[in-house]
Structure 1
């Protein structure tokens, strides 16, 4: 196999050293490409790692599924320029990805991707180096499948998340906000991202720039999820959550309708969600049930033990599964699972009075709205002016 390594400055010594003994011929370039020259040189596969040029449609059409890009974000998040900077600023998932190059901007089918936990103690430069190491590890792990043509790539438009994309102009505007440039601590980048999300207009006035100017939207509005059809009708089952449910639950919790039903209804950042999810899975007094229909996740039901054998319940349906008649079945099966596996004497829930659909689901599952004569400790957050309280007591 003849491989062309497309690199920038500095070139990747590690990837070159890895490929040299594994291919028939390895060439390297940081210059522009032409389809005629590639065919004349007998190039079979291209590996793009830090390449500074846009690969034109003539080449991408001539080499479909034969140009592999190493990208230092968790695609589809951070497509385009300076992905690691944007992921920190937007508090979005951070990681690395391998994908085939098509005519779009980092939009080709995904070969593999991996989340990377980055500390806010890093700088933009050191976090970039950590991501580069993880990215090269990922490439080396998947090289055999890539070379053998046996990797199963996933089209990015088949993913649940919409992701984000940033062009050169907006990326340079963002980086100009940081006088230390690549030496800027990640914590400072994250802090400015929070400041922007609180009040974009005030941010632009104070900082003299809006990195999203002209974009018409930000990744935080209107939604992070693609519109999908609800899974085909079938029996609803439940299972307890695992670490593999982290990303999908983050997407669900940031759905605009879901956020409006919460007391704190702003964007839930990735870093905070990761901490919360890990703590929740490790907490013996918390249980998160994932509802499934035909094996596809449709929502979750969370149980938090407040005292003794009393649990508070909250429910969240995937946006595409609302008003399909599956919420009550998911809740009923989750309650049955809890009563089969834990000692449960009381279940209670609180919902905004405007959340009629959720109230109906709880009532169908035996938790009617009640006027409780006395508060218990789990009701410390109850706001009777805007919420209803629902309860079920078991013998």
Structure 2
């Protein structure tokens, strides 16, 4: 890999109106900065993230998920601005790609397009039908001549449709020459990275414009931008999985985490939410079910089922309003209205309606182990820790707080009794 990548993530992001750093806001299950890092890692082994606002929090989050990332702390007091962010940054390779941490939709292909050729600077440019509000990039004979802010545009320049997308590929020697020479002689008293374009043009260095797609270089500055970016990323994710063979009913109503994966012929019905690093193989997830960090193989879930983290379902039927958490079920039927938590249930067992594993005593969680061919009757409470061996019947309405041996019937009920004529005594004769 012959290019370095610098990701600018030092800004305060005040328009997000949040105590969470802007670049750590999530899109499809992953911080927006991580989407940019993932794209960068596909093209480079030398990645530097520039930090300032809430730097420790951002660095800690990155280091929890990635190794080998370099960090540079911007001296934003003395050197504010995007140009100031680059002061003191060192890169390994002969070229550096500079992008922003709030561009979660950028792709490897888009970044590779900026690496082509031998120009001193490749500059990303977007062509807009309505460029109003943006600075214009003036291009002549295939090279960038200047960047003109809209307030400074002459009438004919306002007709220019090319605007700056904010990502640059720059030769290392130019960075080492131009960044120290940046000035803050402007109204904002900031150091602007865009000034290196003027420096290059003044010295006769070629600045090559690379036309890119607006969608891929879309910046996120507010909660509204965040929502729009998620819509775009969700469309991409679902398109790729449908191409790979996943069937989706009303895909616009479905949510799929960017970390989720599928194998074989899967079916997702409307309103389904697939969260975390769930892995689903040849299974049917029915309407309005939620899957969280779970493994599901040759099974069906729902409608309105909830499969929580660290659950493994194999050859299992989970019906409506059934919740499973941190459990392994193999060849099991749980048709409706049950809670199975911290449990192992083996092949051929049936969990009746209203069954719950009482796994929490207020301090600790405990395990329930259910063997093969166990029939658990409706409205049963299994008080963990408890083991139910193979070939057991649990009578409906039982509370089981002791182990049950193979082949037994377990029943725990108060004797039923009736009082003759009580209805008429209570409500009176008709």
Normalised TM-score (structure 2) = 0.24
Higher relative CO (Cα under 8 Å, sequence separation at least 6) belongs to 1
User: Higher Cα Rg: structure 1 or 2?
Assistant: 2
Higher relative strand content:
2
Q: TM-score, normalised by structure 1?
A: 0.25
Higher helix share: 1
